[in-house]
Chains A and B, each alone.
Chain A
């Protein structure tokens, strides 16, 4: 039985603007287990980037945690991280328990700061010995295939692929329990994408990184490493399943449509064809009533227009939020 590392309970995170709110994450509950790789997929505007901000407790106005809680296991005890102050979050969580590899990670490093400086900053924020941490960094660089001498250089002196490795190495020096990767490869060419995945999995095998939550619109990429997948639509989770299950037997009509829209150079794709889903994802200020996917769903029923389906287990390892799989089915 997997151990739970993080639990998100009915979290609602909205961007509260003067006249209205953008309901980016609107009632989301799930768990992240220790040592798993979990993918979060969805299109632009589904709330997945807000979710990554929520999980990392990077909640800056106008983003507001309107409801719900986030718990994380720290030193063996579950703590309610959603009630921590920003100071506490910086000291206790960031860099230590949770680390983020952001979008376009290789451009995340300031070109005018030598990489060793980041390590020094990290040491200062967590009151650790700078020299010791630098030694750790040098060792980590070696472990990911970088000459430790690069630490003394500027980011622009490295190639894109090398910078990727450097960013991951520095981000994980303190062996965080959870690594959050938000669209880390979308700006990379295919070859560098593979390098990134390779380095990530290498660090995981080494035990340096424990759990990974990989947030992306690119299903074919996350599928390479994910144990489980979460599919988001319009601020809600519509399906959670194991990787094999969701590829073989996606339950939610949106998951089916989304996965059948993926185009890869494989013969199976030409046979399968491409799904045609009418309409477009709704805006999160005024999402549709009932099930948010109902205006585009090929299997829409009356109940779907009025009530929101709950996320429920439909088979072992698969949860879906859809009336097709409950007693409400007409």
Chain B
């Protein structure tokens, strides 16, 4: 990665768009405090996440406020435990925990209903017994419990059936509406980015080559790479030229 700079405001949804090797996943890992930057700073809520967050308590708080949703829903679950375990773990991370197990279970059930799952359908089930869409929804239910300030979503719908994608995207938008959560989408899919984002950052070879409002990036691209990208992407309402 070379000199990547951008900002994400409260309640904003942005996308880092690029092909594999563009540096978008590395950027995500740095934001999640998983990889150390070689230069530059990552500032969250006014603090440098490497230089100023060093003790266990502040790092724990950072992990409460910044969450990830990954591409492969299956990989986010331990196959030996029922799926709701991840929600119990979320409840235990809360600062203000529910006073007893019964209340905690109520909170878990509520979070499931919020993401469109009937608790009966998944409680007690193992990861291989539920669909990819359900797994992603449970990850979002986790976010609903924890109320992170920032979610880094790495290709959250690419492994989900097309007919289930709308539901997942709607849920993430609702989190922004209701909780003011900011979201960074990491994706190769400019169509998805165009649809959900307030701002798009197009990455190539470790750099941001184009940035701006989706309409600007897609309808008036300035960089050669983004121009070629937008031209080559097959569209629904118009045919590609030169076929």
| CB within 8 Å for A274 and B170 given contacts A190-B229, A263-B194 | yes
Would you call A194 and B191 a contact (CB within 8 A)?
no
Would you call B163 and A194 a contact (CB within 8 A)?
no
**A275-293 interface with B by 8 A CB criterion:** 275-281
Would you call B240 and A197 a contact (CB within 8 A)?
yes
Partner of B116, one of A189, A191, A278: A278
How many whole Å from A124's CB to the nearest CB in chain B?
A: 35
Q: Say whether B51 faces chain A, with CB atoms less than 8 Å apart.
A: no
CA distance A210 to B71 in the complex (A): 39
Q: Say whether A269 faces chain B, with CB atoms less than 8 Å apart.
A: yes
B3-11, B35-43, B62-70, B231-239: which lies at the A interface?
B231-239
* Chain B residue at minimal CB-CB distance from A283: B131
Q: What class of interface size applies to chain A in its complex with B? A: 35 or more
Partner of A198, one of B233, B237, B239, B242: B242
| CB within 8 Å for A270 and B164 given contacts A191-B228, A265-B218 | no
What residues of B have a CB within 8 angstroms of the CB of A219 in the complex? 236
Q: Say whether A128 faces chain B, with CB atoms less than 8 Å apart.
A: no
Contact with A along B133-174 (1 / 0, CB 8 A): 110000000000000000000000000011111110110000
| CB within 8 Å for A262 and B236 given contacts A277-B164, A278-B116, A280-B161 | yes
Would you call A43 and B191 a contact (CB within 8 A)?
no
How many whole Å from B24's CB to the nearest CB in chain A?
A: 14
How many whole Å from B149's CB to the nearest CB in chain A?
A: 25
Most buried by A among B116, B191, B219, B234: B234
Q: Say whether A105 faces chain B, with CB atoms less than 8 Å apart.
A: no
Q: Say whether B19 faces chain A, with CB atoms less than 8 Å apart.
A: yes
Would you call B163 and A270 a contact (CB within 8 A)?
no
Report whether over half of chain A's contact residues are helix, strand or loop; otherwise say mixed: loop
Q: Say whether A223 faces chain B, with CB atoms less than 8 Å apart.
A: yes
Would you call B163 and A277 a contact (CB within 8 A)?
yes
Would you call B236 and A198 a contact (CB within 8 A)?
no
| CB within 8 Å for A198 and B243 given contacts A266-B236, A266-B238 | yes
CA distance A221 to B131 in the complex (A): 26
Q: Say whether B1 faces chain A, with CB atoms less than 8 Å apart.
A: no
B interface, CB within 8 angstroms of A = 19, 116, 131-134, 161-167, 169-170, 189-195, 214-215, 218-219, 228-230, 232-240, 242-243
List 5 extra interface pairs beyond A198-B243, A224-B234, CB under 8 A.
Answer: A194-B240, A220-B233, A224-B240, A263-B194, A269-B195
